[in-house]
A and B are shown apart, each in its own frame.
Chain A
């Protein structure tokens, strides 16, 4: 998705723009796996994170190898805001609405 007001000028900028041209994609950093394994509930600094999904998105790639297959929070930066507390709101699957 090309940005409307921002021009990517050099090769690196174009690469970043191209990488983000897909709306939804598997969320993986480097060679991080997408398998299910225990440990996902441990948040940053080994504390329990109130929203394990958020933990998957923002933390696991730096603290462990876990990575859930979840929507792209770069193209849809605010999708998480509706599921702030999984304990109270566990039925909300926080999916990105299909706009196509």
Chain B
């Protein structure tokens, strides 16, 4: 039988002797002999299973044959007919039946005027609107009605600035909790806020409904102020930090940093926010379609340098049993540990949709206001099955020919639909500017994972706190 090397990413830098198997996302330490043998087979094109193997120094033929059998058993070398097979180990396709998480746009209005805002300062290509209570309740009814098969449902309050419409947030949460109790389901809540309107009473409410709050902050002090001013032009940093003190004191809170060309110093930002009391800080490159903000080649390198420094801090802390709350690496290590290999990048349209004040339901919160991605209207009974299926088919990994030869395709799965849509005109196109950056980032994750497991083999066996919600 002829065997070939399956699609692998070898890692031999920094003393590593590891391979990542692309079709299954399995990760192995193969040792110097394993790496050498894989390279030899790769160079030769194939090997026959009974073939005499030329001996490496210090290895008997028997040892070499045993190693080859191990590589075969672990599917790192395979018959050509099995090349690229996931052996049923691809992540199960998410159900297209019931939506689990609903993003409720309670306010299409914002009291900040962030200079790069993709949402048109919260207006989403429309006029300033607050969701009314009746609409919020109809969304809750719809969520519970169509999500019958799920034990756990979730609502994210989003905007604009959701705290501009606190009465509706309260009513939606009250109504959802009442329904959950009646139907014997669990309901969870989260919110992304700019922090300017947080009060003690709001924190009481967050505590009452156990709401996971994420505060958007992009940098420290004046640098944040230039990116996140009030409409008057006044900076928001000092006011936000003062306002959120009770929140930081009483709750576990995440910060979300949108990285633009003007705030690339992520190490200082993340470090300062963690010291200020945030449990976690996550960074995401902006997609503004504005050259003043969007990252380009050298910016990505600077961002990656910063991520490498923060990853190093995360690793040192983790190895001494502490959490350094740099979300990006924590989430990536979790994905590597579990061997995620998926054909959709996120749950948009599958397990999550967003709903606007006017009743229109969209692929995700970022597509609100884009008419082509309205999947239905709550007043018409919810999602249009045919439209939803059409969009889901269009954004499946198999439709992305640009991804077919990329080793990271089952981790990235084509990237954020909205980024692709904004820059390339379609969610199923590939925004290649992101690709090199993402591959370098994933490689850093694999190297970090290998080093951490090498230092402490059981380090990932206790559960990492998941934080899977898309906060873009």
Whether the Cβ atoms of B29 and A6 lie closer than 8 Å is yes
Whether the Cβ atoms of A6 and B30 lie closer than 8 Å is yes
Q: Which of A1-15 touch B at CB < 8 Å?
A: 1, 3-13, 15
Partner of A81, one of B50, B74, B449, B450: B50
Whether the Cβ atoms of A30 and B337 lie closer than 8 Å is no
A59 to B1, CA, bound (A): 13
Interface presence of B128 (CB below 8 A): no
Question: Which partner residue on chain A sits nearest B78 by CB separation?
Answer: A74
Whether the Cβ atoms of B26 and A74 lie closer than 8 Å is no
Whether the Cβ atoms of A81 and B27 lie closer than 8 Å is no
Whether the Cβ atoms of A4 and B26 lie closer than 8 Å is no
Whether the Cβ atoms of A12 and B338 lie closer than 8 Å is yes
* Cβ–Cβ < 8 Å partners of B21 in chain A: 13
Identify which of B63-71, B152-160, B357-365, B419-427 touches chain A: B63-71
A13-B74 CB under 8 A given contacts A8-B28, A77-B49, A78-B49: yes
* Cβ–Cβ < 8 Å partners of B70 in chain A: 3-6
A73 to B58, CA, bound (A): 29
Partner of B81, one of A9, A16, A62, A74: A62
Instruction: Please give the number of chain A residues whose Cβ is less than 8 angstroms from any Cβ of chain B in the complex.
Output: 28
Instruction: Please give the number of chain B residues whose Cβ is less than 8 angstroms from any Cβ of chain A in the complex.
Output: 39
Question: Which partner residue on chain A sits nearest B67 by CB separation?
Answer: A5
Question: Which partner residue on chain A sits nearest B337 by CB separation?
Answer: A10
Interface presence of B33 (CB below 8 A): yes
A1 to B70, CA, bound (A): 10
Scan A20-32; emit 1 where CB is below 8 A from any B CB, else 0: 1000000000100
Scan B155-193; emit 1 where CB is below 8 A from any A CB, else 0: 000000000000000000000000000000000000000
Give the shortest distance, in Å, between A66 (CB) and chain B (any CB).
15
A1 to B449, CA, bound (A): 25
Whether the Cβ atoms of B31 and A11 lie closer than 8 Å is no
Whether the Cβ atoms of B338 and A8 lie closer than 8 Å is no
Question: Which partner residue on chain A sits nearest B341 by CB separation?
Answer: A12
Partner of B1, one of A7, A11, A77: A77
Q: Which of B6-23 touch A at CB < 8 Å?
A: 18, 21
Interface presence of B322 (CB below 8 A): no
Interface presence of A58 (CB below 8 A): yes
Whether the Cβ atoms of A13 and B339 lie closer than 8 Å is yes
Partner of B74, one of A6, A62, A78, A80: A6
Whether the Cβ atoms of A10 and B73 lie closer than 8 Å is no
Whether the Cβ atoms of A9 and B28 lie closer than 8 Å is yes
* Cβ–Cβ < 8 Å partners of B41 in chain A: none
Interface presence of B89 (CB below 8 A): yes
Interface presence of A49 (CB below 8 A): no
Whether the Cβ atoms of A6 and B34 lie closer than 8 Å is yes
Interface presence of B409 (CB below 8 A): no
Interface presence of A75 (CB below 8 A): yes
Whether the Cβ atoms of B72 and A9 lie closer than 8 Å is no
A10-B1 CB under 8 A given contacts A4-B66, A20-B74, A30-B88: no
Interface presence of B413 (CB below 8 A): no
A73 to B75, CA, bound (A): 12
A11-B337 CB under 8 A given contacts A6-B70, A16-B87: yes
Whether the Cβ atoms of B26 and A12 lie closer than 8 Å is yes
A1 to B74, CA, bound (A): 11
* Cβ–Cβ < 8 Å partners of B33 in chain A: 5
Interface presence of B319 (CB below 8 A): no
B contacts, CB < 8 Å to A:
1, 3, 18, 21, 24-31, 33-34, 49-50, 66-67, 69-75, 79, 81, 87-89, 336-339, 341, 449-450, 453, 460
Would you list 27 pairs from A and B whose C-beta atoms are within 8 A, ordered by A residue?
Answer: A1-B73, A3-B73, A5-B33, A6-B29, A6-B34, A6-B71, A7-B28, A8-B74, A9-B28, A9-B450, A9-B453, A10-B27, A10-B339, A12-B27, A13-B74, A16-B26, A16-B87, A17-B73, A44-B81, A58-B81, A62-B81, A74-B72, A75-B69, A77-B3, A80-B1, A81-B49, A81-B50
In the complex, besides A1-B73, A9-B450, A75-B69, 12 extra interface pairs with C-beta distance below 8 angstroms are A6-B28, A8-B26, A8-B74, A11-B337, A12-B339, A16-B26, A16-B74, A17-B73, A17-B74, A58-B79, A62-B81, A78-B50
A contacts, CB < 8 Å to B:
1, 3-13, 15-17, 20, 30, 44, 58-59, 62, 73-75, 77-78, 80-81
